[in-house]
């Protein structure tokens, strides 16, 4: 991690520390908030922010242009992320709801204030970092394409998060927090069921649409695409047709398009109030379309690359035979060299 963005590395360390502390809290604190441990949410937020922050810390160390500007962007992101996740942990420690809490009591007011300061900059900074990556070459073509697509999807996921805040309308409702107090809620993560939950650990809704799903998928696109890039790089050592970085870049591009399709379908599915655990006919058709497009396009790239690799290898394969033939001619002694005069008629 030498040379990585130091404030983001510190941020990631704090996030992973919160993740571990929250994991302990699951076993030692029996307070429940809306059917789950009060520490589940800080655990998820801490881990997600830690992984994303560490990715940005590595990425910003690779910039060749605007490094100073990138350093400041990363620093502000680290501070904003710390405020955002810190507010979630603060609310959890007090046994109350962090998001959509419309109560007038001090904890809820503090959390709302922090969110108003910290959430917006996370989207803006991600967009600016994406622009920085767009104007320069970072790594080979495959990596550059993965980074650009990943940051674009991360930005889109944050837009979904902002959209999420108003997705359930302004109809007020009340829930009970871990202390038995009534919490007035306005807005929510679910469509159809504003406070829907049910899935293990993620607690994504099984009773309605849930915009947390596309938010999560889009936010971590950059890690998935970088992993695909790394796998292709390893495979290139044993598959000659993958050694051309243009081929790897095309495959990463296909993966990015397929991933974008899944992100779009998940968002559309959630907005229609369909839980991620239920695939209606329209959703199945959409996913099938994305899958067919991705597989056919990837197959076309692979077939073309293998043919080109085979055709370019053919002259090389024939070269040893030509060299052997030429060597044989030069190595065979002529009659003159042997001092033998050929007879007439022979």
**Other Cβ atoms closer than 10 A to 110:** 14
Six-digit token string for 66? 């605007």
Strand residue runs (E) in 169-314: 173-176, 182-185, 190-191, 209-210
H-helix or E-strand containing 139?
none
216 band by pLDDT with thresholds 50, 70 and 90: very high
- Helices 106-134 & 141-164, crossing angle to 10 degrees? 150
In three-state secondary structure terms, 37 is strand
Distance CA 209, CA 93 (A): 28
Q: What value does the mean pLDDT take over residues 172-180? A: 87
In three-state secondary structure terms, 228 is helix
pLDDT of residue 170: 52
Higher pLDDT, residue 19 or 119: 19
What are 61-99's pLDDT values in tens digits? 989 889 999 999 999 999 999 999 999 999 999 999 998
Whole-number CA gyration radius for the chain: 29
What are 7-32's pLDDT values in tens digits? 999 999 999 999 999 999 999 999 99
The CB-based long-range contact list for 227-234 (8 Å cut-off, 24+ gap) reads 228/146, 228/252, 228/255, 229/142, 229/143, 229/146, 232/142, 233/142
Higher pLDDT, residue 27 or 344: 27
171 band by pLDDT with thresholds 50, 70 and 90: low
DSSP-derived letter for residue 240 is G
DSSP-derived letter for residue 91 is H
pLDDT of residue 222: 93
Higher pLDDT, residue 331 or 207: 207
End-to-end Cα, the chain, rounded Å: 80
- Kindly tell me the number of DSSP H helices and DSSP E strands found in the chain: 10, 6
Give the Å distances, CA to CA, from 8 to 11, 29, 219, 281, 290: 5, 30, 17, 43, 35
Closest to 232 (Cα-Cα) out of 310, 141, 148, 136: 141
Least trusted range by pLDDT, from 165-169, 237-241, 283-287, 317-321? 317-321
Percentage of the chain exceeding pLDDT 70: 88
Domain ranges of the chain: 1-138, 178-314
Residue 293 has pLDDT above 90, yes or no: yes
pLDDT of residue 321: 44
CATH 1.20.120 fits 1-138, yes or no: yes
CA 75-80-82 angle, to 5 degrees, is 95
Six-digit token string for 170? 């302004």
Distance CA 213, CA 204 (A): 7
Distance CA 136, CA 148 (A): 10
pLDDT of residue 165: 61
Residue 332 has pLDDT above 70, yes or no: no
290 band by pLDDT with thresholds 50, 70 and 90: very high
pLDDT of residue 58: 93
What are 296-315's pLDDT values in tens digits? 999 999 999 999 888 876 55
pLDDT of residue 21: 97
168 band by pLDDT with thresholds 50, 70 and 90: low
pLDDT of residue 312: 75
**Other Cβ atoms closer than 10 A to 327:** 10
């Amino acid at each position: 991690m030498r040379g990585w963005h130091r404030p983001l590395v510190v941020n990631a360390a704090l996030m992973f520390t919160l993740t571990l502390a929250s994991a302990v809290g699951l076993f030692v604190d029996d307070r429940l908030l809306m059917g789950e441990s009060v520490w589940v949410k800080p655990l998820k937020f801490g881990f997600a922010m830690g992984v994303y922050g560490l990715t940005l810390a590595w990425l910003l160390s690779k910039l060749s242009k605007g490094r100073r500007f990138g350093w400041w962007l990363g620093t502000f992101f680290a501070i904003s992320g710390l405020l955002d996740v810190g507010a979630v942990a603060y609310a959890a420690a007090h046994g109350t709801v962090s998001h959509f809490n419309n109560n007038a009591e001090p904890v809820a007011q503090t959390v709302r204030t922090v969110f108003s300061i910290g959430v917006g900059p996370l989207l803006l900074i991600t967009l600016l970092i994406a622009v920085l990556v767009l104007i320069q070459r970072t790594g080979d073509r495959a990596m550059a394409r993965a980074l650009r697509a990943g940051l674009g999807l991360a930005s889109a996921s944050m837009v979904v998060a902002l959209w999420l805040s108003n997705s359930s309308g302004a109809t007020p409702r009340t829930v009970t927090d871990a202390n038995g107090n009534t919490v007035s809620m306005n807005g929510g993560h679910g469509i159809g069921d504003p406070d829907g939950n049910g899935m293990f650990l993620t607690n994504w809704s099984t009773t309605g649409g849930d915009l947390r799903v596309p938010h999560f998928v889009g936010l971590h696109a950059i890690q998935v695409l970088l992993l695909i890039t790394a796998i292709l790089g390893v495979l290139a050592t044993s598959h000659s047709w993958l050694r051309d970085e243009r081929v790897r870049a095309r495959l990463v591009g296909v993966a990015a398009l397929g991933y974008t399709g899944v992100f779009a379908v998940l968002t559309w599915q959630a907005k229609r109030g369909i839980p991620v655990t239920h695939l209606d006919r329209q959703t199945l058709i959409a996913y099938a379309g994305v899958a067919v497009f991705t597989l056919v396009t990837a197959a076309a790239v692979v077939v073309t690359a293998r043919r080109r690799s085979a055709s370019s290898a053919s002259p090389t394969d024939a070269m040893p035979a030509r060299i052997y033939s030429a060597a044989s001619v030069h190595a065979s002694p002529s009659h003159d060299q042997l001092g033998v005069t050929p007879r007439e008629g022979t």
